Homo-oligomer: A and B are copies of this chain.
Amino acid sequence: MLLHRILRAHVARPSRISSISSFTQPVRSFSTTWRNYQQNPLDPTRGLPDIDASKLEVTETITPKEILPNKDLIFGRTFTEWTASDGWHTPRITPYQNLSLDPATCVFHYAFEAFEGMKAYKCSKDNSLRLFRPDKNMARLNKSVARIALPTFDGEAFTKLIGEFCKLDQRFIPSDKGYSLYLRPTMIGTQRTLGVGPSGSALLYVIASPVGPYYPTGFKAISLEATDYAVRAWPGGVGDKKLGANYAPCIVPQLKAAAKGLHQNLWLFGEEEFITEVGTMNLFIALKDKETGQKELITAPLDGTILEGVTRDSVLALARERMEKDGWKISERYLRMSELAAAQEEGRLIEVFGAGTAAIVAPIRKILWKEKMIDCGLQETEEAGAVAMQMKNWMEAIQYGEDDSTSWSYTVQ
């Protein structure tokens, strides 16, 4: 979901790395470690203590970080963190620090790693600290780690710890709308072994970075290359889990798209060329039915090959609640690339956008498919369609506590 900004920078200047890697000094880390859980290999956590938020230990930094002006809060530049370091039993918040790991640690060899992306917001009305649907992130992280035999954990307890962490660093979250603290819960296997087996120890940590608006000067529509030589996920694979394993193989298709001046790649599946995801975001397509003219908002179904995006789920729920009454049909279904192309040719394509935590929505201008450039419905002077804009506004109103009609905004106590 951080792809857009990076890819854009990439296209604009090939030596983008210097700008990405020059982080300023982060300030804090939170961590909890877990060891020796091999009582039952298929249920490693059974009978062992879960995370106990009441045992949290906090070590304040002695060199507090200076608050940067909002304009410098660029995604991925400044970090404040939690780092996992001392057992499920005693969660800790410490100053940001490196991890010291044996080179035979299994995370380096066999990709024992899973993560989440989430954000903390300051409520526009009362300045309270808010998380957005943290239960969804915790449930997904637990599903991800279970798939690679890492230990699961109590998501509610961990959400409380994330709240404590955010409170300590809330001065880094500007109250201006669009600003937030990006949070990266991460679990890695830490056992030192070259044997391919379950990791006997794990580290769960969170790092954070104050971030500004994803589109500081308004939406910027992106263009895609439909990838026909590589496949992101497969039935029976792990494409629906947020595992590190799903990400490194995405880079070459990204770079190949960038080499053609496009921002990101579009993943297709099978001979039918079903539309699945864009880069590391879910994808939504709005079009009119050929027969009835009914407007339909479509995203790929959760068949095991699609990441179960929290933004995807939220967009679907909001669309069902607020757009169906205006005649929209909201569909989780397969859509072939050829159907999208036909809709465009016949003037039935309304708009296309990606959905993810970083940008909420990423409007798509065009898609290169089989040497054909498909226009996705935006006017030349337009950077986003009406549905994408509406969704971003609806989502932000909930995230910043202006819209209390859902139970999605979690107030940190």
Contact = CB atoms under 8 A, between A and B. Distances in A.
Interface stretch (A65-73, A134-142, A246-254): A246-254
Contact of A101 (B20, B23, B101, B238): B101
Given A6-B195, A14-B41, A238 B249 contact: yes
A99 B16 CA distance: 26
B16 A38 contact: yes
Contacts of A254: 196-197
A279 interface: yes
Given A14-B40, A20-B200, A38-B17, A249 B244 contact: no
Nearest to A191: B21
B280 A196 contact: yes
Interface stretch (A53-61, A106-114, A319-327, A381-389): A106-114
Contacts of A113: 108-109, 111, 248
Q: List 8 tightest A-B contacts by C-beta distance, closest first.
A: A231-B236, A17-B200, A110-B247, A111-B244, A245-B245, A234-B234, A148-B248, A111-B111
Contacts of A250: 196
Contact of A244 (B36, B237, B245): B245
Contacts of A29: 103
A179 interface: no
A194 B248 CA distance: 12
A353 B79 CA distance: 51
Interface stretch (A181-189, A341-349, A404-412): A181-189
Number of copies of this chain that the complex holds: 2
Which of A79, A111, A197, A205: most chain B Cβ within 10 A? A197
A39 interface: yes
A15 to B, nearest CB: 5
18 contacts: A3-B196, A5-B195, A7-B197, A15-B38, A18-B200, A21-B201, A23-B104, A98-B101, A108-B186, A109-B113, A109-B186, A113-B248, A149-B251, A196-B247, A196-B279, A197-B254, A229-B236, A237-B249
Contacts of A249: 147-148, 237-238, 243, 245
A325 to B, nearest CB: 37
Contacts of A280: 196
